[in-house]
Amino acid sequence: MAAFGTVFTPEMIISRFNNNSWSTPEIVATDSISLHPGAHVLHYSSTCFEGLKAFRHADGGIYTFRMEKNVARLAQSSQLLALPGFDKAMLSKMILDIVSRYAADVPQPPGSMYIRPTHIGTEASIGKAAAPSLESMLYVLLSPVGDYFAGGAKPLRLLLEDNARCAPHMGMVKSGGNYASALQPIMKARASVQADQVLFCPNGDVQETGAANFLLIDGNEIITKALDSSFLHGITRDSILTLARDRGMTVSERELTVDELLERAAKPGTEAALSGTAAVLTPVGTLIHGGKEYQVGSGVAGATTNALRQALNDIQWGKAEDKHGWLTKVC
């Protein structure tokens, strides 16, 4: 199977903001946009994006998962980056229109259609280092995908890094610059200790990895950092916490220090996992800190992690009742 995110449908849907108004969304060839080399996004990173998925059910129906949450988060990211505001209903319709046009390309489970709404500042002005782009493009790319982590649900190795992933006020913005600032630490972690990902823990505060949230599962309790502006408010995180509460688990959204994490991880039966649209819920088997390796619980995918992942997938794939109203029927 092709690497995650490298296959695109031949068309996407786009709306442009010029002269204070949005154009009627149109379907265009995916590789058809042109940008001025002085476009704001190319210099000052006025870019934000979303990642959500559409799923094929056994009866052939196609459904998106928690689309309104992603649309709302893109609107919030756009606002925090001072990009032009857009009508959330317009973006929702763009998503539904392009997914329904490519419904036949939505893979069977365990695959899905990854949906990438993207908003970029396009004004040609290299002088606007400290001023917003007054022109932008909002488009929705589609990419049929399988597993994000090449090893499937193989437990991951995480290097705990003392630095932040990004500037503390930017964590809740899903913006390209945050991924750029995390890249070197992740590359170094791969090369030096064969880590799969970096778990960013500035000042000993366990935050998130480069592309997913971090959850610690200790018996009946699930522990994860309480929401603040320093990290991305994952929609999968919220969904998993909801499913955990549904199962009678105690959900503790609070600060988690590296010391507490390492102490708890050593106990037999402890589990850790990464949550994200691409990651779904991927078990973590090893934490690496201060030159030492710490096995999480028994080092293999834990029963609770597997059960929560299955519960989420069952809703997404239409095999369990959608009690929380998370699915939107596309066609």
Is residue 319 helix, strand or coil?
coil
Helix (H) or strand (E) holding 79: helix 67-80
Instruction: Determine which residue in the list 25, 51, 117, 283 makes contact with ligand PLP, applying CB under 6 A.
Output: 51
Residue carrying the six token digits 């009742």: 321
Instruction: Determine which residue in the list 125, 175, 230, 277 makes contact with ligand COI, applying CB under 6 A.
Output: 277
Look at residues 47, 44, 12, 23 and name the one whose alpha carbon lies nearest to residue 124: 44
248: left (phi over 0), alpha (psi -120 to 50) or beta: left
Angstrom distance (rounded) from CA 157 to CA 205: 19
Q: Name residues contacting ligand COI, limited to 39-78 (CB under 6 A).
A: 51
Instruction: Determine which residue in the list 39, 145, 232, 288 makes contact with ligand PLP, applying CB under 6 A.
Output: 232
Which range of residues in 151-159, 213-221, 273-281, 303-311 is near ligand COI by CB under 6 A? 273-281
Q: Are 256 and 224 in contact (CB under 8 A)?
A: yes
Q: Which amino acid is at 247?
A: R
Which range of residues in 35-43, 200-208, 276-284, 300-308 is near ligand COI by CB under 6 A? 276-284
Instruction: Determine which residue in the list 276, 283, 285, 297 makes contact with ligand COI, applying CB under 6 A.
Output: 276
By CB under 6 A, is residue 213 in contact with ligand PLP? yes
By CB under 6 A, is residue 212 in contact with ligand PLP? yes
Instruction: Determine which residue in the list 164, 211, 240, 244 makes contact with ligand COI, applying CB under 6 A.
Output: 211
Q: Are 236 and 277 in contact (CB under 8 A)?
A: yes
Phi, psi of 304 (to 5 degrees): -70, -40
CB of 277 to ligand PLP, least distance (A): 3
CB of 32 to ligand PLP, least distance (A): 26
Q: Which amino acid is at 319?
A: K
| Residue 237's binding partner out of ligand PLP, ligand COI, none, with CB under 5 to 8 Å set by partner kind | ligand PLP
Footprint of ligand PLP (CB under 6 A):
51, 208, 211-213, 232, 234-237, 275-277
